[in-house]
Chains A and B, each alone.
Chain A
C-alpha cells in the first residue's frame, strides 16, 4: 500500500519506509510506507486515533514520538533522527493543528527569525515587511496581526491563517497541513484554499490531512491515502475521497484486509 504505482517517472521528495513509532511505549504506527514525489499533492484521511497526527509529528521530528523502526528520507537525505530545526532547514513545513501561543514574541519578529534560521541569511527588513504585508492582505488578515504576540488571543481561524502565512513566507519544499481546515467557517476555508493554491507549484509538494472534502475542491489532488490503526490500508486517486464519504473508513479498511 502507500506505494501506489506511478504513471510516469517522478523524483521522490519524501520516502517513508516501514515506519514504526511509539509514544510512551505504546506503538501507534505499525510499519507505515508512504512516498511523496516532487510536485505532488497527497491527501491523508482516516478515523480519529488512526495515527495521522503521530505521523506528521514524527515526520517533523517531535521528540516525544519515538521511531522504533524504519526510516524517513527527505530530498535524498535520511532525516529519521535529525532535530526538527534541521528538517525545517531541509525544506519541511508543518502547519500545526493547534499552534502554540508564545507571549512576548510578535508574529512578525517570529517569522523573520524563522526565515533567517532557515535560509541562514540576513533578512532585508524593508522588502520583508512589504512581502509580509502583501501576503497578509491575500489571506484577508488584518495588518495588526504582525505586531501581535504569536497566536496569543488569536481565534481558531486566525491561528490557521497564521500557519498558512508562515508557509507562504517560508516557501518549503513539502508542506504538511494537519487539519488546517478544521474549525474554519466557509469563508475562511476558501481563503485558506486560496493560500494553498498560491503556494503550490510544479516543484513543491503537499501532504494534507483532513476530515472534509471541502478544502480539496479547489486543489488538484494526485493521491489519497486511508490510514487506519497505524497503517495505510488503501491508496487511490481523488475519487477515493467520495468513496470514503459514502462508505466510511471501516468498510474500506475491511475491504482492504
Chain B
C-alpha cells in the first residue's frame, strides 16, 4: 500500500475573518509621536496623572530596545501602526443599542449568547474602545465592580484604587512594549471583587480588533479582596489583513490573602498579528492563581504570564496550549517568582506545531533565598506533526535556596505511524486518526477551559487537521 501523507489545511477562520465595513468615528494617524500620545490622552479626557504617565511611558519606550532574544519583530514597523481607533458608538449596557455591524460581529463570535447562558457579566471591546459592558444585577449587588477602564479611572470611589495599581505590577520600564502600552493604552476591563465575595459564574471580556494596520492596547486590571473568588475569561480575535497588526495588551491581577482567581484565555488572532501581551499576577498569603491559556493565532507571539508568589502558602497553576501552523512563530510559556516560604507552582504546557510552524516553550522559575519549603513542577510536551515544523524548549530555573522541591519534565514527540495504523484499523480515516490523536493530546487543556472554549478549541484543531475533507 502506498503511504499517503495527509494534507493538513490551515484553520478555517471564516467566522473570525469577516471584516466589518465600519467607519470609525475617529482615529489617530499611524506612527508614534508625542503629538499622537497627547491626542489620545486628550480625546480620552485623561486625568492629569494619566496624561503625564502616557508621556513618561513614551519617553521610556523611545529609550528601550526591541527584544532580540525571541522571534523576529522586523515585520513590525511602529510608523505603520494606528494606535487609536474609536468605533462610532459610545459604550452601551444593552446589546440592542450597539450598532448592528458591531453587534453582528459579536453575535457570530457567540458572545451575547454566552452572556445569556453562562456568564455573570460581559465586556466587549471593538478596536480601541469598549462598546458594551454589563454585569448581572445580583453580582452588582454583591459589590462586584466590572466596568471599562476609562470609567474606572474617573470613578469617584474606585479611581484612586486604579491609580494605586495601574502598571505597578507591569511598569512601563519592564520592556519596550510595556512602555508602548503605557503610552497608548485604551479600553480593557476593571474588576473589583470585595473581600469574601464569591462570584459564582464567570465574567468575560472579549477583544476584537477589526481595523487593518491597527494596534490594540487594552488594559485589564483585576483586584480581588481577601478571600474573594472569581473566574475571569478573556477572548481575543481579529480578521486577517495583509498588513501587520499589533496587540500589546496588559493584564494586572492582584490576588489578596486567601483569594482565588482563575484567568482563562483563548487568543485566536489572525496570522498577521504581532501579539506582545504582558500578564502578571501578585499573589498574597494563601492566595491561589490559576491560569488557563490557549494561543492559537498570530504571526508572532511573546506571551509568558507571570505570577509573583508574595505571601506564604500562596500557589499558582499554569495550564497552557499553543498551536503554531504555517508562518507562525509562537514563543510562549510562563514565569513564576517564589518570594515567600511554602509556596507552590505548577506549570504544565503543551504545544503543537505543523506545516513549518515554530513553537517555543520558554519559562522561568525563580525561587528567592527567603522562600524555603517551596515546591515547583514544570512539565512541557510538544507534538510536531511533520518534519518542517519546529519545537524548542527553553526552561530556566534560578533556585536560590536548598530547601526546595523542584521538578522539570520535557517531552517532544511526533505522531507514530503505529498509532495511526491502530486507529485506522478501527475504521477511521488517516485524517480522522491524526485529528483524534491531536485532540487527545490537547484534552488535558480542554478539560480546564470553559465548555464553549473547549468546544471552540476542539473545532479549531479538527478544522486544522481536516485536510481535503469538505
Contact = CB atoms under 8 A, between A and B. Distances in A.
Contact of B1 (A81, A111, A113, A115): A81
Contacts, number: 90
Interface stretch (B288-296, B303-311, B433-441, B448-456): B433-441
Contacts of B437: 102, 105
B155 interface: no
Interface string A165-186: 0100010000000000000000
Contacts of A87: 425
B427 A114 contact: yes
Nearest to B381: A103
B259 to A, nearest CB: 32
Interface in A110-155: 110-111, 113-115, 117-118, 149
B248 to A, nearest CB: 34
Main secondary structure of the interface of B (DSSP, over half): helix
B422 A166 contact: no
Contacts of B429: 83, 85, 117
A81 B426 contact: no
B440 A149 contact: yes
Main secondary structure of the interface of A (DSSP, over half): mixed
A96 B423 CA distance: 11
A76 interface: no
B350 to A, nearest CB: 10
Contacts of B430: 83, 85
Contact of A102 (B417, B424, B436): B436
B417 A114 contact: no
Interface string B1-40: 1110000000000000000000000000000000000000
A203 interface: no
Given A117-B427, A170-B426, A83 B1 contact: yes
B418 A100 contact: yes
A55 to B, nearest CB: 15
Given A104-B440, A104-B443, A118 B427 contact: yes
B428 interface: yes
B394 interface: no
B419 interface: yes
A61 B426 CA distance: 12
Contacts of A83: 1, 424, 429-430
Interface stretch (A35-43, A62-70, A214-222, A249-257): A62-70
A81 B419 contact: no
B1 A102 contact: no
Nearest to A89: B427
A10 interface: no
B2 A81 contact: yes
Interface centre among B416, B417, B418, B444 (most CB of A within 10 A): B418
Interface of A: 60-64, 66-67, 81-85, 87-89, 93-94, 96, 99-100, 102-105, 110-111, 113-115, 117-118, 149, 166, 170
Given A66-B1, A104-B439, A104-B443, 5 more contacts: A67-B1, A85-B428, A103-B443, A113-B436, A170-B427
Interface of B: 1-3, 416-419, 421-430, 432-433, 436-437, 439-444
13 contacts: A60-B421, A61-B421, A63-B1, A83-B1, A83-B430, A85-B430, A100-B419, A102-B419, A103-B440, A103-B443, A110-B426, A114-B427, A118-B427
